[in-house]
Structure 1
Amino acid sequence: MAILCAGEILFDFISKSPNKGLGESGLFEKRPGGSPFNVAVGLAKLGADVSFLTKIAQDQFGKFLFEYLKENGVNTDYSFRAEGLKTCLAFAAVDAQGKAEYEFYRDDAADTRLELKDIANLQYEKFNIFHFGSIALIDEPTSSTLTRLFDNFISRGLLTSFDPNVRKSLLKNRESYNNLVKSIIKKVDILKMSDDDLFYITEKKDVEEAIRTLSIKEGSILFVTLGSEGSLVYKDGIIERVPGYKVKVVETVGCGDSFMAGILYKLRDLSKEDFYSISVEELVDYANFANKCAAVVATKQGAANAMPTLSEVRQFEFL
């Protein structure tokens, strides 16, 4: 069965000036990115049937991104092209303390303008899983459109997946944002969060304590990525840690999205009944595969560009 990913599509401009921060960086490298977009490309490169739902500007950046989706095997039937709007640009750098800095330029960005009328003819029966999240939830009307779509998938008995991928610099109201994320968490089947996202949403500083404050419905699954420490699986009160893989790290942009793609790839053919009966042991195996996907990405430069194929994951030699 196919997967529908939805959300932002943009260009990342990654600083090539080590530890200079955004203000002092003099050179940036342009790469296609955006969390749900990276996941869609990652799924396609692994061999999954995946479509991407968004609005894409008809500026030169947007035209390239539309072709990039097609060239990488992502179905674009629901990637609507929009005139008179812009492509979102995101700048990223690491400062002298090793902290990542982000600045987003989203004025009149096409991916913020997804409307309910755009999804009126969506063929739900084509899809087994709906995945969404990230900064697409911040701007209207896209935020309301995606949350309505989320509810529509739930009402049809289909699986749903969510990664908040928090970008604090874009949030105007932390309380309203956290309330929205928590309302989604209560209903979603597959939840993925980084440890930083988890701490931000729960305001706790211990991973296991933070998990137990979340209102995760019975049978749903949570994956928490822990950077070089690997990941964690949670289901129905059971927590299992899954060690990461040692690699020579080039950068970590896109690792979390590759992890998410790995998880969805493993779950893509499950019925809802099979999904809810899946064991924690099986989920640990899936997280182990996703850890491998993320580790491969860490050895490369790029976000969508770095997403691995299935053969690459299988043949990669870890340290």
Structure 2
Amino acid sequence: MNKPRVICIGEILIDRFSEQPSESLQKVTSWQDFPGGAPANTACALAKLGISTTFIGCIAQDELGELLVNLLKDSGVDCTGVQRHHTAPTRTVYLVRDKTGNSKLVGFGGREPGEFADAYLCAELLPISLFQEVDWLVLGTLELAYPKSREAVYKAISLAKFYDKKIFVDINWNPMFWINIETAFQTIMELIKYVNFLKLTVDEAKFLFGTIKPKVIAQFFSNLKGVLVTAGESGCSYYLGEYEGNLPAFSVDVQNTTGAGDAFNAGIISQILKYGIHSLADPEIIRKIVTYASAVGTLTTMKLGAITSQPTLIEVEVFLSTHYLKRDSIS
């Protein structure tokens, strides 16, 4: 494997989707399992786009954990930093899909959110050499919900800062993961102080900042060099370098939206690596970067499975040559 360009740190898990579109858990009669977890999704998407990537996370010493590690490896992701927990299980999340393809997390199969292996990611076991090699550190906020993994996240941030790496955070807000929901807002806002690039949904932007304007959000923290706000079928808005803009969505038949944002993140990072960080001084290249990322995210919605649905480089190129953006976008 080539020297990794990106570390993705956080959770890898099983997404257990309802096979019947339903608004109620009680009406679901069968389920289908897919690998998932936002940082792992992004790692696999990056690898499929030709970016050498490594994943750091904690999984169980069980059959599901082995399956997930093999999936990462098969996707081309380096697993040097994967840790194993001998007693806590690999996380399974239950997701109910509605008729529009949107999914809602409804539980963890009767377990408490902090009982799973990913909550025990250990700071002392982080491979320091990986942080010396890469250009980017990518993470979400769910690992902040647990004391042990939160410590590991901040150790990773400290290493990234020490070695002058770019830090990209996707908020990925989900209250069901948090043990102490009252501390979530302040914990997340504290993390953003160390971040260079921030991606959040419209709802997350309203929740954290009271605005959906990326430039306004960037002004909350001087360290933010880029902010992306996604709005599903309404497209996205961005503030990168010193330029802001809105981008409509592509028009496609959506099967499931889980993992689309993670794939979008991979598209953004892969293109910044392609063009170089200096390219954020050019508004035309910035729009190319965001359009490419939108295509990667859109392709992921056209099949089930956050990882199994991710496109290759060639599939993205073909899609961009045959599909056009809608006229309406987020404003």
TM over 0.5: yes
> Could you tell me how far 1:270 is from its partner in structure 2?
7.0
Tell me if structure 1 keeps the 8 A contact 2:171–2:200: yes
> Could you tell me how far 1:19 is from its partner in structure 2?
2.2
List aligned pairs for 1:207-218, cutoff 5 A: 207-208=212-213, 211-212=216-217, 215-217=220-222
Which residue does the alignment assign to 1:148? 155
Tell me if structure 2 keeps the 8 A contact 1:219–1:236: no
Which residue does the alignment assign to 1:49? 52
Cα RMSD for the two superposed structures: 2.5
Which residue does the alignment assign to 2:35? 32
Relative to structure 1, the CA distance from residue 97 to residue 76 in structure 2 (aligned partners, 3 Å threshold; closer, same or farther) is closer
List aligned pairs for 1:130-279, cutoff 5 A: 130-202=137-209, 204=210, 206-208=211-213, 211-212=216-217, 215-217=220-222, 220-235=225-240, 238-268=243-273, 274=278, 278-279=281-282
Distance in structure 1 (CA, Å) of the matches to 2:217 and 2:75: 39
Q: Could you report, residue by residue, the CA deviation over 1:257-292 in whole angstroms, capped at 9, with x for unpaired residues?
A: 1101101111236776x37x6334322221110000
Structure 1 residue ranges without an equivalent (≥5): none
> Could you tell me how far 1:58 is from its partner in structure 2?
1.5
> Could you tell me how far 1:226 is from its partner in structure 2?
1.1
| Secondary structure of residue in 2 paired with 1:93 | strand
Relative to structure 1, the CA distance from residue 59 to residue 134 in structure 2 (aligned partners, 3 Å threshold; closer, same or farther) is same
Tell me if structure 2 keeps the 8 A contact 1:233–1:284: no
Counterpart AA for 1:129: W
Distance in structure 1 (CA, Å) of the matches to 2:212 and 2:175: 19
Relative to structure 1, the CA distance from residue 270 to residue 54 in structure 2 (aligned partners, 3 Å threshold; closer, same or farther) is farther
Counterpart AA for 2:235: G
Distance in structure 2 (CA, Å) of the matches to 1:110 and 1:50: 22
Which of 42, 60, 80 in structure 2 is aligned with 1:77?
Answer: 80
Which residue does the alignment assign to 1:311? 314
Tell me if structure 2 keeps the 8 A contact 1:21–1:93: yes
Q: Could you report, residue by residue, the CA deviation over 1:225-284 in whole angstroms, capped at 9, with x for unpaired residues?
A: 110121111146743101111111111111111101101111236776x37x63343222
Q: Does residue 18 of structure 1 match 2:21? A: yes
| Secondary structure of residue in 2 paired with 1:123 | helix
Relative to structure 1, the CA distance from residue 247 to residue 265 in structure 2 (aligned partners, 3 Å threshold; closer, same or farther) is same
Relative to structure 1, the CA distance from residue 264 to residue 97 in structure 2 (aligned partners, 3 Å threshold; closer, same or farther) is closer
> Could you tell me how far 1:200 is from its partner in structure 2?
2.1
> Could you tell me how far 1:174 is from its partner in structure 2?
4.1
Structure 2 residue ranges without an equivalent (≥5): 325-331
Which of 57, 67, 72 in structure 1 is aligned with 2:70?
Answer: 67
Q: Indicate the larger mover: 97-106 or 231-240.
A: 97-106
TM-score normalised by structure 1 residue count: 0.90
Relative to structure 1, the CA distance from residue 48 to residue 185 in structure 2 (aligned partners, 3 Å threshold; closer, same or farther) is same
Aligned length: 315
